[in-house]
Chain A
Amino acid sequence: MSVLPQETTVSPNSSTTAAESRAAKLMKRRSRIRFYEIIVWIAAIAAYFLLPSKMLILTEIAILALFAVSLDLVLGFAGIVSLGHTAFFGLGAYVAGLLALHFIAEPVTGLIVAGIVSGLLGLLTSFLILRGSDLTRLMTTLGIGLMMAEVANQMAWLTGGADGLSGFSPGPILGMFEFDLFGKVGYLYCVDVLFIGTMIMRRIAFSPFGLSLKAIKGNSMRSAMIAVPGRKRIVIAYTIAAVFAGMAGALLTQTTAFVSPDVLAFHRSADVLLVLVIGGTGYLYGGIFGAILFTLVKDWLSVITPQYWMFYIGLLLVILVLIGRDRLSRWVEYLPERLSKKEDR
């Protein structure tokens, strides 16, 4: 404990200036674009050209990724566990469907409206997750998700009930790009939205707001003692996450021209959590990596064992938990930060 270096008592002025410039560098380095980020987006574009027959599964991945990235904002940053995140996904899906059916078929409009409506639900329900422990939050969010599913089921006159919502076809994106039969436009549309959404959340992540969310997660008592208004921050983060989850739902509706009651099913909330467990939390790209792995593994398993693939997903989850969540959420740190040799920290 007493092995502190003696360098701590240098002449004050020069050391202060040195400290300031070092601090500025360190802070800038925090938000620097990482090597893996560039790879992700290059791969997303490359896939469009290299895998023209896989557009549907790639679209599925992009949608799940946006959904997972939005959950990471509350789980990985604010530390709020949720088993009902699909309430926002499903609401966005229905809003986009209803809008296309009754009012405007233009997808971007539908996307934005779905995001706003889901965000409103997020704002309203955020007050329910402010109190209590992780367990109460799990139960509350689970309850909200189940209630939404039941509402959609009961309001068959509006939502089509168990039959789902169909009979609409999304118009050309911004009036210019028509959805094609192979899903190529749909994929590019989803990747664009995922890219913009991730960039927005990335900005938030490196802002003082994003840092304060991590402080709340890290030690809520201390965060209050440095004047972080915890409840307000959680409300805002939860609302933003709901907006993007709703947009992910809208993307599903628009690329499939159908809303199944399944968009509000519990398994979606569980899946998206699993995605984050696989990809790691607290750095947003975990949602993307997780979505890729989860969807590919699920697809592969459902081909080789159509009836028991759920078992293997469960087994995977058990193995992941045994390896340890901590190590998992940090695996990204072993990736090189940039192409050149790693600098000293």
Chain B
Amino acid sequence: MSEIVLETRHLVRRFGAFLATNDVSLKVERGARHALIGPNGAGKTTLINLLTGVLPPSEGQVFLEGEDITSMASFRRVKRGLTRTFQINQLFNEFTPLETVALAIAEREGVGHNLWRSIAGYGKVVDEAATLLARFGLASVMGERTVILPYGKQRLLEIALAFASKPRVLLLDEPAAGVPEDERHEVLQIVSDLPADVTVLLIEHDMDLVFSFANRISVLVAGAVFVEGTVAEISTDPRVKAVYLGENA
């Protein structure tokens, strides 16, 4: 089975004269663990922003499960199973982790528009939120204001929040960045434990993580897909090494 769930066709995004995304045509299969790597400024986050509707593309199209979602609002894409985490935490500072996750679950269940019943009355939503928070080691702080949590906890909440929407396609923008060393593995384990039909697109700088997690890798350089292949192909590709060494030297 090689059904394409997420596809871009000739995607272009310009910021003034700067070409952040340059003719990217990408196909991601259902259930793939697809990594997006590339040097800083290669346009990885911009690409995620285009996929999720945070930014509109200058040209090109985005398809989710065969449907053109290029001009679809972000929240509708999430409803259709496409969600993401942010490289820099985007949380609700004044909310508690419990409120944050419960709201995401309420929206997923389609009860977010109810303005008459207390959210405490949705026992299933609250229970699920608690279970999810416990899975991410956030049970002990679920009643604290998010803004006072240590960065590592906020990072875990960022990822837990994406899980709350039960995505079919999950875009992870450097999920391990800022997660304490000893919990990194655990986070990636939770991601790996996702059902096999959930598609994951991962941006990550830690190559060990990428090579252990992904089954397919796209290398982005200067906004364009430089090379794409399996882990074995990419890890031995001399051009990829050159790109990274050139960047780091």
Decide if A28 touches B52 in the complex (CB within 8 Å).
Answer: no
Contact of B104 among A19, A30, A227, A345 (CB under 8 A): A227
Residues of B within 8 A of A260 (CB): none
Contact of B126 among A27, A207, A230, A345 (CB under 8 A): A27
Assembled-state Cα–Cα distance A9/B190 (Å) = 14
Residues of B within 8 A of A233 (CB): 113
B94 at the interface (CB under 8 A from A): yes
B131 at the interface (CB under 8 A from A): yes
Decide if B119 touches A218 in the complex (CB within 8 Å).
Answer: no
Decide if A8 touches B119 in the complex (CB within 8 Å).
Answer: no
B79 at the interface (CB under 8 A from A): yes
Known contacts: A1-B152, A2-B152, A207-B115. The answer to whether A212 contacts B107 by CB under 8 A is: yes
Contact of B150 among A3, A8, A223, A225 (CB under 8 A): A3
Decide if A207 touches B75 in the complex (CB within 8 Å).
Answer: no
B225 at the interface (CB under 8 A from A): no
A323 at the interface (CB under 8 A from B): no
A7 at the interface (CB under 8 A from B): yes
Residues of A within 8 A of B10 (CB): none
Assembled-state Cα–Cα distance A222/B98 (Å) = 16
B242 at the interface (CB under 8 A from A): no
A228 at the interface (CB under 8 A from B): yes
B103 at the interface (CB under 8 A from A): yes
Assembled-state Cα–Cα distance A27/B114 (Å) = 16
B143 at the interface (CB under 8 A from A): yes
Question: Which of B14-22, B27-35, B83-91, B193-201 lies at the binding interface?
Answer: B83-91
Decide if B93 touches A218 in the complex (CB within 8 Å).
Answer: yes
Question: Which of B56-64, B180-188, B209-217, B233-241 lies at the binding interface?
Answer: B180-188
- The B contact surface, by secondary structure, is helix
Q: Identify the interface centre among A9, A214, A228: most chain B CB within 10 Å of its CB.
A: A228
B140 to chain A, nearest CB (A): 6
Contact of B139 among A18, A24, A30, A232 (CB under 8 A): A18
Decide if B95 touches A218 in the complex (CB within 8 Å).
Answer: yes
* Interface range on chain A (Cβ under 8 Å from partner): 35 or more
Give the residue name and chain of the A residue nearest to B78 (CB). A227
B5 at the interface (CB under 8 A from A): no
Size of B's binding interface in residues, CB under 8 A? 68
A215 at the interface (CB under 8 A from B): yes
A5 at the interface (CB under 8 A from B): yes
A209 to chain B, nearest CB (A): 4
B220 to chain A, nearest CB (A): 22
A206 to chain B, nearest CB (A): 5
Contact of A207 among B73, B118, B138, B182 (CB under 8 A): B118
Assembled-state Cα–Cα distance A128/B134 (Å) = 42
Give the residue name and chain of the A residue nearest to B99 (CB). A211
B129 at the interface (CB under 8 A from A): yes
Assembled-state Cα–Cα distance A18/B142 (Å) = 12
Contact of B152 among A4, A207, A211, A229 (CB under 8 A): A4
Known contacts: A31-B120, A224-B74, A227-B104. The answer to whether A209 contacts B114 by CB under 8 A is: yes
Known contacts: A5-B140, A208-B114, A211-B99. The answer to whether A218 contacts B131 by CB under 8 A is: no
Known contacts: A1-B152, A218-B95, A225-B74. The answer to whether A23 contacts B142 by CB under 8 A is: yes
B39 at the interface (CB under 8 A from A): no
Residues of A within 8 A of B134 (CB): 12, 15-16, 19
Give the residue name and chain of the A residue nearest to B133 (CB). A19
Known contacts: A207-B114, A207-B119, A212-B107. The answer to whether A23 contacts B73 by CB under 8 A is: no
A37 to chain B, nearest CB (A): 15
Decide if B107 touches A227 in the complex (CB within 8 Å).
Answer: yes
A236 at the interface (CB under 8 A from B): yes
Decide if A225 touches B130 in the complex (CB within 8 Å).
Answer: no
Assembled-state Cα–Cα distance A221/B178 (Å) = 21
Contact flags (1/0) for B123-148 with A, using CB distance below 8 Å? 10011011101110111101110000
B82 to chain A, nearest CB (A): 10
Contact of B164 among A7, A9, A215, A226 (CB under 8 A): A226
Assembled-state Cα–Cα distance A228/B183 (Å) = 30
A203 at the interface (CB under 8 A from B): yes
Decide if A229 touches B120 in the complex (CB within 8 Å).
Answer: no
Decide if A26 touches B143 in the complex (CB within 8 Å).
Answer: yes
Residues of B within 8 A of A124 (CB): none
Decide if A219 touches B116 in the complex (CB within 8 Å).
Answer: no
Contact of A225 among B90, B117, B178, B182 (CB under 8 A): B90
Residues of A within 8 A of B86 (CB): 222, 225
Assembled-state Cα–Cα distance A224/B83 (Å) = 10
Residues of B within 8 A of A27 (CB): 98, 102, 118-120, 126
Decide if A203 touches B92 in the complex (CB within 8 Å).
Answer: no
A–B pairs, 7, beta carbons within 8 Å: A5-B140, A19-B134, A208-B106, A208-B112, A225-B86, A225-B162, A345-B144
Chain B residues near A (Cβ < 8 Å): 52-54, 73-76, 78-79, 83-84, 86, 90-96, 98-100, 102-104, 106-108, 111-120, 122-123, 126-127, 129-131, 133-135, 137-140, 142-144, 150-153, 161-162, 164-165, 178, 180-183
Given contacts A19-B134, A215-B103, A218-B93, 4 further A-B contacts (CB under 8 A): A23-B127, A211-B95, A218-B94, A227-B104
Shortest 3 CB-CB contacts between residues of A and residues of B = A8-B137, A23-B130, A209-B115
